[in-house]
Amino acid sequence: MPRDIRIAPAVAARLLGFAVVALALLVLLLLALAALLDLPAAVPVVVAAVLLFALGAGGLHLVNRAYVVRLGEQGYRVRFVRGAGTRQARWADVEDAVTTTVAGSPCVVLRLKDGRSTTIPVDVLAVDREEFVRLLRAELERGRGHRRIR
């Protein structure tokens, strides 16, 4: 059964804050367009309500269902991390994992046998660094070549 590591609440709040600002700007643009085109007042209100509903649904999905890292039986998958490198790979392809700091942020780098790598900043995860390393170590040692995290 896959283990999903969700997005950190602080990161989700920043993303939702950005979405609220974008929504507000879009509604202002829509109101200005409606005034210029002499549209009924109901048009921007209905569109704003639909956008607000979409924002709420997206926020709920982000907080409750979306994952950043999925650790599965066969391998891992990383989403929502810009610059992660290789987004998914099988455990059998992982050479080793190392902890490091990239741009001042603690990261775990999964190095693959073919020279590629996956960089996962642990600050964006809803688990602390030690727990994430413990989960990775368990996956890497669970009969998948006994690779270690250094």
Contacts of 130 (CB under 8 A, 6+ apart): none
CATH number for domain 81-141, candidates 1.10.3470, 3.30.450, 2.40.50, 3.40.50: 2.40.50
Choose among 110, 83, 88, 112: nearest CA to 99.
110
- Amino acid occupying residue 49: A
Task: Give the start-to-end residue ranges of the domains of the chain.
Answer: 3-64, 81-141
- For tokens 């210029």, name the residue: 36
CA 97 to chain centre: 20
Per residue of the chain (150 residues), give pLDDT as tens. Answer: 788 999 999 989 998 999 999 999 998 998 899 899 998 888 888 988 999 999 999 888 888 888 999 999 889 999 989 889 999 999 999 998 999 999 999 999 999 999 999 999 999 999 988 999 999 988 888 755 555 566
Give Dmax over CA atoms of the chain in angstroms.
Answer: 69
The 3-state DSSP class for residue 23 equals helix
Q: Are 47 and 40 in contact (CB under 8 A)?
A: no
Model confidence, pTM: 0.78
CA 116 to chain centre: 20
